[in-house]
Structure 1
Amino acid sequence: MRQAKLSIIGVLIIALLAGCTPLRKPPPPFDPEHTWQKRQLALRKLGGWKLKGRLAIDAIQEAWTGTLRWVQKGDKFEILWISPLGQGSVELRGNPERVTLRVPKEAPITAESAEKLLGIRLGWSLPVSGLRYWLLGLPAPGLPVLSRSLDPFGRLHSLSQGGWQIRYLGYQSVKNYQLPGKVFLDNPKLRLRLVIDRWHLV
């Protein structure tokens, strides 16, 4: 009988203690937009980066594939695009004011933008000024954003800017960042398909 009373008292004490325990608040719902804003701030602070990947270019009547290497240090960039099977290479070095283009067996040529150089020499143009940001998964500053969509983790899924439609088909972890692993870019005259094999933050 005594044991039964002790058991009842024990149950009552546990119930009272449980009643005094504050209720835990449920975790706030995940907000992709809030995460996206924080992600933008972090990515824009990157001082420099390098990438190596595979780039396919599909123009109106021609197509090329090759390896892309890009080094960005502040406003300075070095881009090397190498075609397979010894078909040649294109090298761009410069900054927002002056860019030099080098191709094998030709004298270097210089202009105020990479887009102009490529258009004159090759007949097609990479959107270098925008790509610097698009490759990181960011809109380019100074250009209107016509539309954008986010994935459930607050990363860019698609972007319409500067006459280009950009789609992000995968991301990869690089240190504390989520950086694109596959980027598709389209405009009426050119299609770019880039698979990034390796990122290096500097």
Structure 2
Amino acid sequence: MPFHSRSCLAIFITSMLMLTGCQTPSLASKTSSPNIGNNDSQTVSYNQFSLQGKIGVKTPQQSGSAFFTWIQQEEQFDIELSGILGIGKTQITGEPGKVELNSSRTGLISAESPEELLLLATGWNAPITHIIDWVQARPATLETEILKDNMQRPIQFIEDGWTVDLSYKDEAVLPNRLVLKQALDSNQENRITMIIQNR
């Protein structure tokens, strides 16, 4: 794969996480997490969490994966990715009005929003700003179609052109695996897989 393609994919993967950082909260995401259990130790405050795991992105043209550490403190975030197609460690930081991506291969890229950075760096427009809600097992909008399991945990969201499948470990109330799918023409799709190893 040419370096340019590897760089674009690296930025695309980082943007999948970055796009959650500076979103304007929707009505649904201002509410508390779904009442799907009484285990307070697994309850996550809105916009405040720490995740570690692996993310993979597969498009009709490219695929790749990276390990991530994601720290979210309200409107500020710090994401570190490693092992991404030889690009090296990538650091993404953000706050309202300022998002920066920095790696030894791509250098420093700045923008006012994650969406702008993704468009600037790759030419792609991927409206997936809802990941911050999905990793907390809650819908991002009021128009979401929700499928639940027998414990009343969401196991599928359908919203804004994405289908999100959520998997849980044992009786956990927060997912440890998410598969995000966006249908494309000719029966193709964009697919993002997030495996959360630590919360």
TM-score by length of 1: 0.66
Secondary structure of 2:165's aligned partner: strand
Distance 1:151 1:82, change over 3 A: same
Deviating beyond 6 angstroms after TM superposition, the runs of 4 or more aligned structure 1 residues are: none
1:41-93 deviation per Cα after TM superposition (whole angstroms, max 9, x unaligned):
x8574462111111110022000111121111112111222235633343321
The question of 1:95 aligning with 2:95 is answered: yes
Q: Distance in 2 between matches of 1:77 and 1:166?
A: 23
Alpha carbons 2:47, 2:75 under 8 Å: kept = no
Match of 1:178 in 2: 173
Decide which structure has the larger Cα Rg and report it: 1
Alpha carbons 1:49, 1:71 under 8 Å: kept = yes
Match of 1:12 in 2: none
Secondary structure of 1:108's aligned partner: strand
Secondary structure of 1:145's aligned partner: coil
Q: Distance in 2 between matches of 1:66 and 1:126?
A: 19
Distance 1:59 1:83, change over 3 A: farther
Q: Distance in 2 between matches of 1:187 and 1:98?
A: 27
Displacement of 1:193:
0.8
Displacement of 1:163:
2.1
1:9-68 deviation per Cα after TM superposition (whole angstroms, max 9, x unaligned):
xxxxxxxxxxxxxxxxxxxxxxxxxxx84249x857446211111111002200011112
Distance 1:172 1:72, change over 3 A: farther
The question of 1:145 aligning with 2:143 is answered: yes
Secondary structure of 1:119's aligned partner: helix
Which sections of structure 2, spanning at least 5 residues, go unmatched?
1-32, 184-188
Alpha carbons 1:53, 1:67 under 8 Å: kept = yes
Alpha carbons 1:172, 1:181 under 8 Å: kept = no
Q: How many residues align?
A: 158
Percent identity over paired residues: 23
Alpha carbons 1:114, 1:128 under 8 Å: kept = no
Alpha carbons 1:64, 1:83 under 8 Å: kept = no
Q: Distance in 1 between matches of 2:149 and 2:90?
A: 34
Task: Letter of the 1:184 partner, please give it.
Answer: V
Distance 1:139 1:171, change over 3 A: farther
Q: Distance in 1 between matches of 2:154 and 2:114?
A: 25
Task: Indicate the RMSD between aligned Cα atoms, in angstroms.
Answer: 2.8
Match of 1:104 in 2: 104
Match of 2:75 in 1: 75
**Which of 1 and 2 has higher RCO (CA within 8 Å, sep 6+)?**
2
Q: Distance in 1 between matches of 2:107 and 2:127?
A: 23
Alpha carbons 2:88, 2:105 under 8 Å: kept = no
Q: Distance in 2 between matches of 1:48 and 1:166?
A: 21
Task: Letter of the 2:35 partner, please give it.
Answer: K
Q: Which has the higher helix share?
A: 1
Secondary structure of 1:191's aligned partner: strand
Which sections of structure 1, spanning at least 5 residues, go unmatched?
1-35
Match of 1:130 in 2: 130
